[in-house]
Structure 1
Amino acid sequence: MAAQFIVTCEYCDNPSECFCNPCQKRICTNCVTLHLQQKSEDGHEIVCNTKRKNKYTSHKCKPHADLECPLFCKTCDVPICTKCATGKHRTHDFDDLEERIDNVANCMSREQWELDYTLKPLYQKILEQIMFRMSTVRKHFRSLSDSVTQLGTVWHQIVDEVIVDVKNDLMQDEIDQLHLLEQEKVVFQEVMNEIHNTIKENSNLSSSKNRAKLLHYKSEIKSLSSIPPLTEFVPSQFEPKLPTKEILRELFGVIKKYEIVNLPGYTVPMEPPVKLSKCFLKQPVLISQFDTSFPADDQGNKVYDLVAVSHGRFWATGYSRILKLFDSKGDAIDSITLGHKSSYISGLADGLLLYSDQSDNTVKKIESDGSVQTLIRTGEWVPKGVTSSVENDGQKIFLCLHKKESHKVVKYNNIGVCDLEFEYPGDHHPLYITINKNGDIGTTDHHQNSVAVLDKLGHPRFIYTGNREIGKIKSFKPISITTDCFCNFLISDWSNHVVHVLNGDGVFLRLIALKQGIKEPRGLCVLGEGLLSVGECATGMIKVLKYLKT
């Protein structure tokens, strides 16, 4: 059945059963006494809604200026007086003018409600999504531009290496030719030396006039007349091959042009849903509070993360290697000792636990017998917030990863193989993570003081940076995040000692605070039956409170 438009009391959110005619105010039965205490020059007249009298300015008849118009001619679509009704309009259809104006006023009131609470938030969220997508597009194209620059650097290196190789080849050709010529030079230098020696010997023999030596003279001219072979070279040539700009562009890389997918418009149903605020208790009730006995780290933090399991129980982790299992009353049920401290834990559908181990950059699973199995290895990436979700093809694990100035969320299957990586704006540092029943992925960033939500395909839904309309409130400092059965997102605000509640579209619903106070909330988990468990990082206390009607 479609939800009905509810006219609420002007003093509270309850439906109004009464109306004060002089004051023109809607009142519920609980607030009648409060209204009667208000001073009014015209006094008060409390009636049921069916007997309400709206105050409107009088409407004078145009043909009969001294008469007011109590009727409305439906045929001519004009207000008329009693004379007009018995004269010119006597055969027409009439309505009571006050009744018609009341109907118009009620229609306006309903449209105003729809504008304020349906269309305005919807368009605001669409604009936020567009802004989020714009920042994602800028980041994407900066990344592509960086890739082109890096490829250009590689090309320059390759060209430099090719130049060196070609020069080396030329140098080697030069060395080879000079070596051959040097060998020929040695051969001919030896012949030259022999010629010089022969000339000298012949000259000495001729001058000596020694007949005996002359008789034994042997001519060397024949052997010296035989010229050794020479090597001739066809000169080396460099043939430059300069590719055209078009060929270089094709070799360098091709841009795959973006595609435009026009999503169809749609009509927003103009029947406002029942207010979700009706499901909240006006004032959360403290059910229990207890000390976890976790020691404090260097910054004084004790409790880090909470994760709910079955039967109203939940695990807690702090500055210790020990995970502790509590029930909603604060009774300690069980504990597990880990090899190293962990700030981030999550549950699996089969009741087993996951935790991020930053000592070796892994995600480990704790089996039912207490043994530990390494499920995911993240290499140089440091694992932080972790959560899980069941999809059509099995259980998925979502993990926040950090590496220097790089940040991302990765989805793994149940054996630790990467399925998908989610991109965030460059300034968003996902820390804690949760997934609601719609598959929307919410992450907190306590550096940029924001909450970013993507849909299950990785498309941005909204960014929440606190609600400035709340009043006196310090800067928003989100730490942990969880979700409830209504797909709401609950965010612990460390600096304001409260928990923010957003609906699945990012609309702020309310703050959760206790009269007893919540000191620097960090870990959160919803236990069911309207219960919320909050870990105070500074005190080491856990407070279980009821915030929903059940």
Structure 2
Amino acid sequence: MEAQISAVCQFCETSREIKWRCLNCDLFLCRICNSRIHSKIMSSVEHKIIHLDQCGTEEVVNNIRKLDLKQMKCQTHHDRKCFVFCRNCNEPICSSCILNIHQNHIFCEIDDAYEEKLAHIESLKVEIKSNIAFMTNEETLLQEYELKGKEHHMEIRTLILNREEEVKQEIARKSKDVSNELETEWHNTEQSINRDIELCLKTKSDLLKRKDNIHKILKSHDPRLVFDEGLTDVKQLHQPMFSKRARLFQFFPKTIETKGIIGDLVEKPKIESITVYPTYMKCISCISHCEAETVLICNNSEDILKKEDLNYDTYQTLKTLQDIRVMDISQTKDGHAILSVGDDLKILTKTGQLKTFLHLDLITLCIHVNYENELFVGAIVEDPDNEGEELGIVLVLDEDGNTICSFDKRTINHSFDEDEEVDMFDYPSRVLNTKKDDILIIDSSNLSTFAGKVVILNRSGHIVREYNGCECENCNDFNFCPFDIAETHSNLFLVSDIGKHSIHVLGATLKILACSFVDDVGIDKPLSLCTDASGKLWIGCDMSADDDEEPKIYCITFN
């Protein structure tokens, strides 16, 4: 702590015009004592004199510390001063310490150790200052995020509450319609019953009168009364005369999935960056990420398979296979690629060797390997129930190729309403085992127009939902033509649509979240999709119809 300034010069003890301080003597001096007396003393020639305006500055404080360093007492031997620094124990020590405690230790000059420690503290000071600036900036950003988050939170909350009100109003309208229908039916039925009651009472009254009359006839001795009573309409009086009975209705309440009615809260992927890679394949019908910037791509219309390193500095084709029609590719956990080729599943090893993994008596269309190394194979087989017809099927195999189960339209159930028509799937061109263990299938049901749908079923074989395209204004003039599918880390599904050159973003239950016309961000004609382990989306495009357009591969990083 800085010493308190004396009221008078501590040399002459009379002058109050104190201007200087001797750090070595720790005395406050007036101008005359400093220049005429203190400076003339031989022992004070090397003393450090500072102006009072400099007191408290960092430089002066450091000088004072250096002076005090010479007088620093030993922590162990209080009557001795420290004069060296022990490297082993990391502390200043005196001569007695060297003899008693610190034998065979490494020493250095106490001044050198002091300068090292001071430099480290200065470095720490700079680092702390930098960290404070960083934290201040982060605090500002976090406050901005908090403000934006609150605004966004209130917007979403308002949308949810508005949706709740819409649902309430819709339920109220539907309830009113059903209630009005019930009231109308009961009103008509009640009127009919009341008419029948009136007719019944009238008929009963007539019958009682006739009964009394007949009783009188039977008690009378006058034969004329027998001839006067007409009996021809007695039979008519006993015939049923009621046109209607009460119509008894039943009310069957439908099960309501509240979250499904209100909507889902999902994180929509936002594009952070797009990297464009050149390639020499005009149509990439399938793309599979291997590692780093290495991908497998194929063009099944030209029967070409390539493995390419897309790095700008080292771009090269690592492997090319001709005359092989690869329909789909998926990667195993150990980095090998499984290829769907005709009636075979083939393995392309990391070293580039191609060998048959499994021969199947069917035509494979697509392949997917999940995190457990199970294989999901979409294929077509001859329909055993209809000669000459083909049947779409999805097989689930273990990593050794043994069949675990299979799904086709003969075995699949569905969870829709009973009056809703579902066509299952006929041509499974892509299959994906989702992170929630459902099975997602692209059904290319019309091979001439490429129109199709997306179907999701669970492991029990129940179709949960299907997606037939977006109903937005921009999509009304196009068929939904799904070609490939990928799943993001946030459990959203991306479906490439070659009919509109777009990518559909679907929620977990195949509800449309966005129909992205990706040409708005410079991506033209997206065809094949895959996601890598880091969550990046790789897109292979179809430029076969445009000779002037250079073929490209896109890699999208989501925020």
Which structure has the higher relative contact order (CA within 8 Å, separation 6+)?
1
Structure 1 length as normaliser, TM-score?
0.47
Structure 2 length as normaliser, TM-score?
0.46
